[in-house]
Amino acid sequence: MACSRARARAYSSAANLGPGFDALAVALNAYYDEVEAKICTGRGGGVYVDRVEGKFSVGVSPGSNTAAEAVRELLNSEGVEAEVEIRIYKGVPPGRGLGSSGASAAAAVVAVSHALDMELAKEKLVFYAGAGERAAAGQPHFDNAAASILGGLAIVASDSAGRLRVFTVPLEAWFSVVTPMNPVPEGKTGVMRSVLPERVGFGEAVRNFSRAAGIVAAAVNGDLESMGALMMSDEIVEPRRRSYVPCYSQVRKAALHAGALGFTLSGAGPSMVALAASREAAVEIASAMEEACACCENPLATVAEPGPGAYLVG
């Protein structure tokens, strides 16, 4: 029996960016998770989480965890028999719309694939990490996982054959991030999906598709003004979610008054992000957003750049 270890870090992310529901996400270096994995091949002892530690570990269940679920998907799909012990450092606030579960899953698959000396395509890494989201949301999701694994602005799509396609665009920008710490319902992602319509109008869909494409093009061209404007143009998802987010209207107004180029929910919320052209502007905007969040409990306010993809540490 041979055993090996690896530890990887993956950053938080903001998904959707307005009209890019389930397709766009940007990695943010505001927060990160790390996963250390010990893998012993030659026996099928299963995958288990030894412990969860870190600033935001309280309430995170080792028994039902996206990191373990992602590793199981990887081992089963690649035909590897191994016993895997996982230790998780939670540096991303869970349940706050910052891709916490995706970051854990991303760090886990990167650590395990390296320890097994496997050179997996980026699509496979994203697929396994996204499959791990079943533990948190009840079904796979690939946007946050893609951002945490690839870094930058990530785009995910399935082709007509159902094959996952993933891309990343380098992005030079700053984001102001405010996270209300008010209580959120159990299974928050599922709850926030339940408020969305099962069907939308053709015109709404076309406009959202074009705006999501515009965000990508604007990022490629470094046109932050257009990117910010398009982030605020969602007609389908954010209008139905914002009433569940503490002080959404007040924080949005404050961000734009302070000079934000764009503003949107981060994923399913309650975190909110604003786009800025410089660090100095982002700091000022974050301060204004925090001050406006009067109904938020112990809000976290920070600034972030687009983060790198998951990588090995230690």
The reply, when asked if residue 99 is annotated as ligand binding, is yes
Provide CB contacts within 8 A for 9, sequence distance 6+: 32, 33, 34, 107, 310, 311, 312, 313
Task: Judge whether residue 257 has pLDDT over 80.
Answer: yes
Q: pLDDT by residue (tens digit) across 83-132?
A: 999 999 999 999 999 999 999 999 999 999 999 999 999 999 999 999 99
Provide CB contacts within 8 A for 206, sequence distance 6+: none
How many other CB atoms are found less than 10 A from the CB of residue 160?
A: 5
The reply, when asked if residue 228 is annotated as ligand binding, is no
Q: pLDDT by residue (tens digit) across 207-251?
A: 999 999 999 999 999 999 999 999 999 999 999 999 999 999 999
Query: 2-169+307-312, what's its fold?
Result: Ribosomal Protein S5; domain 2 (3.30.230)
Task: Judge whether residue 139 has pLDDT over 80.
Answer: no
The structure's pTM equals: 0.95
The reply, when asked if residue 103 is annotated as ligand binding, is yes
The reply, when asked if residue 203 is annotated as ligand binding, is no
With respect to CATH, is domain 174-304 assigned 3.30.70.890?
Answer: yes
The reply, when asked if residue 199 is annotated as ligand binding, is no
Q: pLDDT by residue (tens digit) across 8-53?
A: 999 999 999 999 999 999 999 999 999 999 999 877 779 999 999 9
Please state the domain extents for the chain: 2-169+307-312, 174-304
The reply, when asked if residue 93 is annotated as ligand binding, is yes
